[in-house]
Structure 1
Amino acid sequence: MPAVEDVDVDKIWRALGKWGSYQRRQLIVEMVAIWSCSLHMLSIVFLGYKPDHECKNAYNSSNGQAHSNNSMSRRFEKCSITYTTNETGVSIVSTTDCTDGWRYFDPEPYSEDRSFISEWDLVCERKELAEVSQTLLMLGQGIGAFVFTSLSDRYGRKRIHIMCHVIIFCVALATAFVPNFTLFAVMRMLTGAFQQGTGLTLSLLLIEMVPRETRGTVEVCSLLFWTTGIAIVTPIAYIFRNLSWRYLQICLACLSAWSLIEWWLIDESLRWLIANGRIKEAKAIILRACKTNKKNFDHVVSVSGFREYELNYETKLEVKKDERAVPLTDTMTSNKENGNTKIDMSVKQYTVIDLVKSKRIFISSLIMWFAWTTNSITYYGIMLISSSLAGNRFLNFFLGSIVEYPAAAAELYLITRYGRKPASIIFHTICGTALIIATILTTTAGGNSAMVICSTVFTLIGKFAITGSFSTIFLYTHELYPTNMRNVGVGLSSTAARVGGMVAPFSRNLAEIAAWSPGLVFGIMCAIVAVTMFWMPETHRYELPQTLEECEQWYKENRFHLPCCRKHDVDKTEVDQQMT
């Protein structure tokens, strides 16, 4: 009798019609939740905008001007007050810290609660605290990636996704009413944790709802929704530019309010239900999909092996009706002994220890962890320093967002035509080269406006490439691990990315000290990733692996292969299945 791996979920989706009404509705509803993940990731660019500032003078608020009397003059600077006294023809210069707080301007009169930085005076010796809030968000993401991915493997993608999504709404709304920076930082960390729980479980729901030949298209569509979510932050922030940051936070939080009704809109992952022996629930979803897509249920379950799987499971329940049913995931055998049917069903669960034990998978995982770290620090670093680039900060952030649209088109072409590994190598090479060129132009500009603008253009090219690479490795990583290790593998990769994410906010401070340094660091890291990717196997047009043994053999046979020089033909059998 067929094993669970003989229940081909891809054949179910093909028989239902790869882009049937049921799948389209589910995908759209799920992808809208991507906005809730993207909105809060980079909103700190506006919530925590750093306006120009100087020490406050209780008597005169002129920008950086010197104030003097007959024997002493004072000059108010960003973080200090310089005193110059003249006694008997000798000038004595001394400095003190700001004693009356700070005055903010940009370049018009600036209210002191338009960003949380100016409200809580997170400047000068307290400036690192502003970046700590974003670092804590990334730390929360690392915690969320580790905790919620494991929970979704155990309790299902849908439950964990919706729970995290609802909590994001509540936490984001509460953030707008915090009275001090300490509570604000705590809320940011909670936002990061539940944002990651929402996003990673959502990505699994999306990838597991389509057959392998359309996974790339779904990932690109996810990127388009992510890009749209980031892009709409700019007009919203512009509308609230003269109001307290709290109003912007409330608006962004309310965009997640629909999570309260999401439970009734989406279904559990069919692949997860089958892998965990949830036969009745899986059958109910297939029936619902058949009704929506106007397909014959018997045909769908017959061509996929689900019918035999269901019958074998029911036989087991009859044989062991007084015992607790063991969910079937990886192996099932049957034979006849003394006229009775003996069915052995076992669950193959994997842990982090299994990942480390496999040398090939562990080395490949190390490469992917470094790639995730590089992509995270580069992607968020470029976006966070966008306000310091030449030109209007709103325009720079918006341009940095919309370059992700052509990145999505380029990704779709590359991963479909050449595969995941070549696409990743190409994107990292472009990004590293562009950022190094931008660094050279910044260093040698010497006030030349044309070179400064060219530097900004190359930085945007780097943003275009890192977006494509980030989306590519997000899809790539899901395809590298067996079903019951997939969330663990993706979770560990995402946790590694948080290392880069926690460092990225400090690129703003580093850019103030040496404008060329962030781009150089990002460029070198991307070059290293491009080289190490040659050690990875290609996953394009391969079925998602079910067992660790499959993965090990697959890794052994496909390392160092670049499929970009051969045409990917789909065999006649697969074409017939897709047409069916």
Structure 2
Amino acid sequence: MAVKGTEVDTVLNVLGGKGLYQRVHHLLISFTAFSAAFQLLDMIFIGRIIPHECAAPPNGTGITIAGVELSSSNYTVEYGQCNIYIKYNTTTSINTEHTLPCIYGMTYSERKDASIVSEFDLVCERGALGDLPQTLLILGQAMGALVLPFFSDRYGRKPTNIISHVGMIAIGVATAFSNSYITFAILRLLMGIVQQGVVLTYATYSIEVYPTQYRRYVGVVGNVVWGICVVSMTPFGYFLRMESWRTLQLAFCSVSLYVIIVVIFLDESFRWLVANGKYDIALKNIKKAAKWNKVDVNVAVDTFNELVGRQTLIIPEPEKGNELLLNEGETKPVEKIEKYSLLDILKRKKLALNTFILWYLWCTAALSYFGLFFTSSSLVGDKYLNFFLYAIMEFPSGMIFFLIVDRFGRKKTLRTFYALCGTGMILATIIKVSSDSYAASICITILSLVGKLGAGGAFGACFFYTPEIFPTNLRNVGLGSASIAARVGGMLGPFSRVLAQHISWGPGAIFGGCCLLATLLITILPETRGKELPQTMADVKLLYKKIPDGSKEGKTKIFKS
């Protein structure tokens, strides 16, 4: 028996809206972001580039060229990062220079296993292989976003989150014991797949735990928690910098043991339970929430019964043919639970257009977020401090989101962050091309941080807004499809460094143009401020209803797709 067009917010408001139960469960699911963040960004530490140079020949031997060992008395040698430079005298006493590759291997300024780059010699002509594992992880995220939302919408948010966590622990430990580069790369791909299971269920569950008027807390808490997660990586990387990358990987992986807390204390999403007819479990959770929030249990139960169209308490009830047994001698027809696919959205012109726009927004946010790291190289100095500075920019973006998302709406919030990101990146690029003075470098640093603030805020706003567009049984699928679009941008981001080598102003112009186009496309999307999360496809159409300003009632118009 499905609930169509219902106001699930009614029950959540009776339970206190943002009472203790909602806040605790929001935090329980929010802290799963530690697992997602640590495995997404750990390559910054375990894959860092170690200063290196070509190794000298073994003790007691000289350099051999064309099968002839040179006498150490008639040549001088310089060991560079990727080549050996030889200057020697020929038999005709003419000074000759000769360049050799690192035929005797590499030497590093730190221990051999300080990084995967040094352990697997991913330098010089193999340097591109050092970035490939991160690209594979992002590709894995796209694969996970394509597959895992089906399980989340079909079997629930909690079991999908738990299974993904267990997968992250297993793959993370296996990664720490990788004995070859190929094994490491394959495991990174698999890590990306399960990492998305945590990210998508975390985002969807968070948006479903509150009624409409409190959903802005999801955005600010998400930004703050993500910022805490990223900042927390700094002490891990700094205090374990002298250890093997394997030790550091195990340390990063250990945070996923938080899954034990999820298994014991987290309840399934109430909206998902209602949308899928799991009324017995939903009622149990309602009674629990009422006690936690010090709300009259009978009032909460009566509201729930009215919501699902029943006149009695909901208990596990046996089915009788095509009818559901209520009280003795009373039956009610069983209504089939609606199941959707992404095609149900794409078959409707209006909804399809908005979905394509969302995909573009996600792609642009990811492209800008990762492209910023490759094009804004002005943050010189200690790499751990630089990482910390980028991380703390998540906090102001979260506060800005909190202050404007309900006051000015979702669309203006999105436009604000995309405008900040685009403006910061374009101006930083212009100044970098125009001047190389110290004052210019300071301006570039400030503008780079502004761009990072905008990119992080755009990502957070997209995570917040996207689930509000899709119905409950399609919400994770819709969010997953948007996440796939983000992975496309994430994989394109690193190529901005290659482009900058040929056209220095190219990346800034592309990112700025993409962000400017995003601000224009956002105007087409529906405003979801003050509207309940859609439960069914029919509810989705209500998002396009024009709500008149002011307290007076007016005519509304529903745009047909």
TM-score by length of 2: 0.88
Q: Which amino acid aligns with 1:57?
A: A
Does residue 439 of structure 2 align to residue 450 of structure 1? Answer: yes
1:59–1:295 Cα change, 3 Å: same
Supply the distance in 1 between the matched residues of 2:269 and 2:552 (Cα, whole angstroms).
Answer: 26
> Would you say the 8 A contact 2:362–2:485 is kept in 1?
yes
1:93–1:103 Cα change, 3 Å: same
Deviation (angstroms), 1:389:
3.4
Supply the distance in 1 between the matched residues of 2:525 and 2:7 (Cα, whole angstroms).
Answer: 26
Q: Which amino acid aligns with 1:369?
A: W
1:98–1:425 Cα change, 3 Å: same
Supply the distance in 1 between the matched residues of 2:170 and 2:85 (Cα, whole angstroms).
Answer: 47
- 2:101 pairs with 93, 97, 102, which one? 97
Deviation (angstroms), 1:444:
2.7
Deviation (angstroms), 1:521:
3.3
Supply the distance in 1 between the matched residues of 2:245 and 2:522 (Cα, whole angstroms).
Answer: 42
Which residue in 1 is equivalent to 2:357? Answer: 367
Alignment of 1:106-145 (within 5 A): 110-145=110-145
Supply the distance in 2 between the matched residues of 1:82 and 1:315 (Cα, whole angstroms).
Answer: 81
5+ long unaligned stretches in structure 2: 60-69, 554-561
Q: Which amino acid aligns with 1:278?
A: K
Deviation (angstroms), 1:519:
3.8
Which residue in 2 is equivalent to 1:28? Answer: 27
Supply the distance in 2 between the matched residues of 1:186 and 1:419 (Cα, whole angstroms).
Answer: 42
Q: Which amino acid aligns with 1:412?
A: F
> Would you say the 8 A contact 1:428–1:529 is kept in 2?
yes
Supply the distance in 2 between the matched residues of 1:536 and 1:86 (Cα, whole angstroms).
Answer: 73
Which residue in 2 is equivalent to 1:431? Answer: 421
Deviation (angstroms), 1:37:
1.1
Does residue 347 of structure 2 align to residue 348 of structure 1? Answer: no
- 1:524 pairs with 502, 505, 513, which one? 513
Q: How many residues align?
A: 539
Which residue in 2 is equivalent to 1:273? Answer: 273
Deviation (angstroms), 1:172:
1.4
5+ long unaligned stretches in structure 1: 61-66, 327-338, 572-580
Q: Which amino acid aligns with 2:441?
A: V
Supply the distance in 1 between the matched residues of 2:280 and 2:197 (Cα, whole angstroms).
Answer: 27
Q: Deviations over 1:193-220 (max 9, x none)?
A: 1111011112211111100111111221
Q: Which amino acid aligns with 2:525?
A: M
Does residue 5 of structure 2 align to residue 16 of structure 1? Answer: no
- 1:469 pairs with 455, 458, 463, which one? 458
Which residue in 1 is equivalent to 2:406? Answer: 416
1:101–1:389 Cα change, 3 Å: farther
Deviation (angstroms), 1:95:
2.7
- 2:84 pairs with 81, 84, 87, which one? 81
1:352–1:475 Cα change, 3 Å: same
Alignment of 1:42-57 (within 5 A): 42-57=41-56
> Would you say the 8 A contact 1:8–1:304 is kept in 2?
no
Deviation (angstroms), 1:51:
2.5
Supply the distance in 2 between the matched residues of 1:240 and 1:324 (Cα, whole angstroms).
Answer: 62
Alignment of 1:1-400 (within 5 A): 4-5=3-4, 7-58=6-57, 72-85=75-88, 88=92, 92-105=96-109, 110-303=110-303, 306=306, 309-311=309-311, 321-323=320-322, 343=333, 345-383=335-373, 389-400=379-390
Supply the distance in 2 between the matched residues of 1:370 and 1:174 (Cα, whole angstroms).
Answer: 35
1:537 aligned counterpart, secondary structure: coil
Supply the distance in 2 between the matched residues of 1:259 and 1:103 (Cα, whole angstroms).
Answer: 41
Deviation (angstroms), 1:182:
1.2
Which residue in 1 is equivalent to 2:485? Answer: 496
Which residue in 1 is equivalent to 2:533? Answer: 544
Q: Which amino acid aligns with 1:467?
A: G
Supply the distance in 1 between the matched residues of 2:521 and 2:282 (Cα, whole angstroms).
Answer: 40
Q: Which amino acid aligns with 1:411?
A: F
Supply the distance in 1 between the matched residues of 2:222 and 2:234 (Cα, whole angstroms).
Answer: 20
Deviation (angstroms), 1:433:
1.0
1:111–1:342 Cα change, 3 Å: closer
Supply the distance in 2 between the matched residues of 1:135 and 1:535 (Cα, whole angstroms).
Answer: 32
Supply the distance in 2 between the matched residues of 1:291 and 1:195 (Cα, whole angstroms).
Answer: 34
Deviation (angstroms), 1:296:
1.4
Supply the distance in 1 between the matched residues of 2:21 and 2:552 (Cα, whole angstroms).
Answer: 25
> Would you say the 8 A contact 2:527–2:543 is kept in 1?
no
Deviation (angstroms), 1:249:
0.9
Supply the distance in 2 between the matched residues of 1:232 and 1:68 (Cα, whole angstroms).
Answer: 54
Which 10-residue stretch deviates more, 497-506 or 12-21? 497-506
Supply the distance in 2 between the matched residues of 1:376 and 1:302 (Cα, whole angstroms).
Answer: 45
Q: Which amino acid aligns with 1:13?
A: L
Q: Deviations over 1:41-74 (max 9, x none)?
A: 11111111113322222379xxxxxx99665443
Q: Which amino acid aligns with 2:102?
A: C
> Would you say the 8 A contact 1:386–1:396 is kept in 2?
no
TM-score by length of 1: 0.85
Does residue 485 of structure 2 align to residue 485 of structure 1? Answer: no
Give the share of equivalent positions with the same residue, in percent. 36
Q: Which amino acid aligns with 1:215?
A: R
2:493 aligned counterpart, secondary structure: helix
> Would you say the 8 A contact 2:426–2:512 is kept in 1?
yes
Q: Which amino acid aligns with 1:539?
A: T
1:81 aligned counterpart, secondary structure: strand
2:56 aligned counterpart, secondary structure: coil
1:21–1:539 Cα change, 3 Å: same
Two-structure CA RMSD over aligned residues (Å): 3.1
1:169–1:511 Cα change, 3 Å: farther
Q: Which amino acid aligns with 2:33?
A: I
1:121–1:519 Cα change, 3 Å: farther
Supply the distance in 2 between the matched residues of 1:74 and 1:234 (Cα, whole angstroms).
Answer: 40
1:291–1:313 Cα change, 3 Å: closer
1:429–1:226 Cα change, 3 Å: same
